Structure 1
Amino acid sequence: SNPRMTIPIIGNGDITSADRCHEAFDRYGVDGVMIGRGCIGRPWIFREVKRYLQTGEPLPPEPFAWYLDVLKQQILQSVERLDERRGILHIRRHLAATPLFKGIPDFKPTRVAMLRAETVSELFAIMDAIPAPTAE
């Protein structure tokens, strides 16, 4: 131990929820965390983690439409940054990974259609037709 030097410990890996982030701080004593794959398909994780770290309370779930809007914003940002074709190709990975559509019966054809969409308008039309999942 060198009293002249402090090195922060950053937790990285498997930070996939506010609970996992909190566990990294409490159980492992990290000074900070990095979220990588945990945000793929869940861009709202940062908001959830921030709230949990500030208050110790989880955020109540938002309406299904709110999550769809967040994904749409992410799609538009990807297209703006790259172009429509490359932006949609890039975002497919996020759409395939999102847990948002779990619990929707017979969703596979819709998922396939989303992943095959070639334009933003085509993708948004598919997303707008998705029913909210039923609570289990």
Structure 2
Amino acid sequence: MSGRDTVWPANPHALYREHGYSPAVRANGFLFASGQVGARADGTPPEDLGEEVTLAFDNLAAILEAAGASFDDVVDITLFMIDPDAAIPFVLEQVAARFGDGPRPALTAPGSTWLAGFRFEIKAIVKLPESAA
């Protein structure tokens, strides 16, 4: 397993250990972030969809920070939404806030029927800055 390592945010939520997956893997100058849901510290989602979407982006931000990267380094995101019509206004607000005027990452947004009790998930591929690679 040389050439790759796991990146953990400073304050990981409970789901990583509960379900046995890595928040992100750094390899060959890239960071592959697992799908981030709007999980609070205990692994549960908030009731409010806007808060859930914001928290998912916050969880991704924590991983980026732990890897020495930022949203400016994200090259590709995949968004999963149980109800795209309900989630997309919150998602577009977060994309504008996190990525600014661009360049923005490539984006794929399939609808989903199951996200383990969550309604939104964001997965990212990041080209790490040389100092973080």
TM over 0.5: no
* Higher share of residues assigned helix: 1
TM-score by length of 1: 0.31
* Higher share of residues assigned strand: 2
Larger radius of gyration: 1
Q: 1 or 2 for the larger relative contact order (CA 8 Å, sep ≥6)?
A: 2
